[in-house]
A and B are shown apart, each in its own frame.
Chain A
């Protein structure tokens, strides 16, 4: 049984060729790289239009709009309400069409209405929730009573010294202390209304060290991420070579 068809092989080979085109940029900029880059942009634009038309424009605008016009033909219901529904359904489409005014310099200002509408809604909805999720809850998570941390750490040490085994709560408490001190010192580094001298200077210095540790962790993760992407492409190329082998029964 042939697992890989000739059609599959053509597509896989095209993808492998484009992968090599992109990799060629590592040597230097060249026409192959630019071909692959432009192809990606072009294909993406076409693909986006198709997906947006089929999964958004039709069922979120065209169909409800068509249904509201159809409802005009039915005798039941108030005509004013029906016209209201039509206007409501027309509005998002009209706002969308206004965006095309950007193509003409004289009318491009009209597109700001759509943008303003979207920005207004986004700000109104997002601001209170953002404050709650990204500020209040983060601050609350750092409001730890240091006495509680020290008592847990002390209890764990007592167990360790008396019975020779640890519940590891010491290290958990130690971690919480680092978070507590790190947050305070990190904030101290970004407090510019007092000169970074004496106690403030010391706290800011610890703060910068904590930030550096954070950047280091992010750098390590970024390296892993980039290597993972390279591995992804290599995995593809290995699969492509084995598909060629399967097809030609090498």
Chain B
């Protein structure tokens, strides 16, 4: 009887698992519970750095994500932009992922409008250019080399914010929100070649790869996935923004996945599969 049960578990149609995961993820999203989110030092250090900057200094927030990774990175970039604008910092932004160009432009516009910021004076959007590594190297010399014009076709010299801003040395720091391996280029060129202070906001899948750079102090902070975004939202006092509201669903789904792994392992050993490997 028991053996038959575990055999049934082992042969279960995976679509039932999809259904359960779908339900346990969806239901907590209908009502916000507010499960606790602990702040980690790697996220706090990004917040602290931005908090320590004088109003008027320029922070570069390059955003490299597209609709596929927006669920994780959009809440993160929105929280960072809100923090910068609320501190009256100027924001310089790029988008090196072609599918995200318009998505990012829209976010910048909407969040800048929330804080009454003016394009060209308080923020500048350079948009997209191909061959990111070449662009990053050129930006280290002069932003005008790869970007003679901004996303809207304005010459950079015509934008008040860009007067006298030539390269990374004119920036207070770079907080790169990245859903691609392009984060390596920022470490390699912006930090490695030009010594620009760099922090990364990456998808959860990528996060473990970049902790090594945190330990070696090549980046001063790391925001990983939706959890990192939720931490940042909490730090800027926006506890009910989308990442925090989503953390309930993440927690419940994780509990179920852990349960599935435990059940799967018990079934694996109970059915004697290890002898057949």
Contacts and interface: CB of A to CB of B under 8 A. Distances in A.
Interface of A: 26-27, 44, 47-48, 51-52, 55-56, 59-60, 63, 118, 121-122, 125-126, 129-130, 132-134, 137-138, 140-141, 179, 214, 217-218, 221-225, 227-235, 238
Nearest to A183: B212
Closest 9 CB pairs of A and B: A232-B71, A141-B216, A133-B192, A225-B204, A228-B226, A221-B204, A225-B205, A224-B204, A227-B253
A221 B191 CA distance: 26
Interface residues of B, number: 57
Contacts, number: 129
Interface of B: 15, 18, 21-22, 25-26, 29-30, 68-72, 98-99, 101, 127-131, 133-134, 137, 146, 148-149, 151, 153, 184, 187-189, 191-193, 203-205, 207-208, 212, 215-218, 224-227, 242, 246, 249-250, 253-254, 257
Given A141-B215, A230-B22, A235-B242, 16 more contacts: A27-B15, A48-B99, A55-B128, A55-B151, A59-B153, A125-B134, A129-B192, A133-B188, A133-B191, A137-B216, A221-B204, A227-B253, A227-B257, A228-B204, A229-B68, A231-B246
A51 B205 contact: no
Given A55-B128, A221-B225, A228 B216 contact: no
Contacts of B29: 231, 234-235, 238
A51 B127 CA distance: 10
A205 to B, nearest CB: 21
Contacts of B216: 137-138, 140-141
For the residues of A in contact with B, the DSSP-based class is helix
Contact of A232 (B70, B187, B191, B207): B70
Nearest to A230: B25
B101 to A, nearest CB: 6
Given A44-B99, A51-B128, A126 B15 contact: no
A222 B153 CA distance: 39
